[in-house]
Amino acid sequence: MPAKSVAVEGDVSATAGTTPYTGADSGTWTAGPVSLTSYGDLKVKGKKVVWKATCTFSFSGKAGNTTVTGSETVTLTATTKLLNKNQTKVLVDGDSKTGGDAAPKFDNKLSVSASGPLKSS
């Protein structure tokens, strides 16, 4: 498997879903800020290497004339892409996670688009 670029701060983005929250007929999702967990001393061009990203998406909509609100948290965690053989797990280009860890899922997504010089093994 070819090596992929390692994710650094700024490489993870959130995309709001289109599936209405449970019980809603219509409405919109809004992505909150993406919270990153990185390695303190591992950097690429001055940016910290990331191994975990979390975002809470908020929903505002309607079920008939009743207001419906809700939220979903999506967490993307490094699993198998390693640096230095078997020591450090990192997020890499192309990693993504749709929906939370439990059903129902609402199409909210975190994804990595990395093009830096540091590659996974």
- pLDDT tens column, 17-40: 999 999 999 999 999 999 999 988
Q: What local confidence, expressed as pLDDT, does residue 1 receive?
A: 58
Q: What local confidence, expressed as pLDDT, does residue 104 receive?
A: 72
What residue spans define the domains of the chain? 12-112
pLDDT in tens, 56-95: 999 999 999 999 999 999 999 998 666 655 557 889 999 9
Q: What local confidence, expressed as pLDDT, does residue 87 receive?
A: 57
pLDDT in tens, 96-117: 999 866 667 789 999 999 988 8
In sequence order, what are the beta bridge partners of 110? 14, 97
pTM metric for this prediction? 0.87
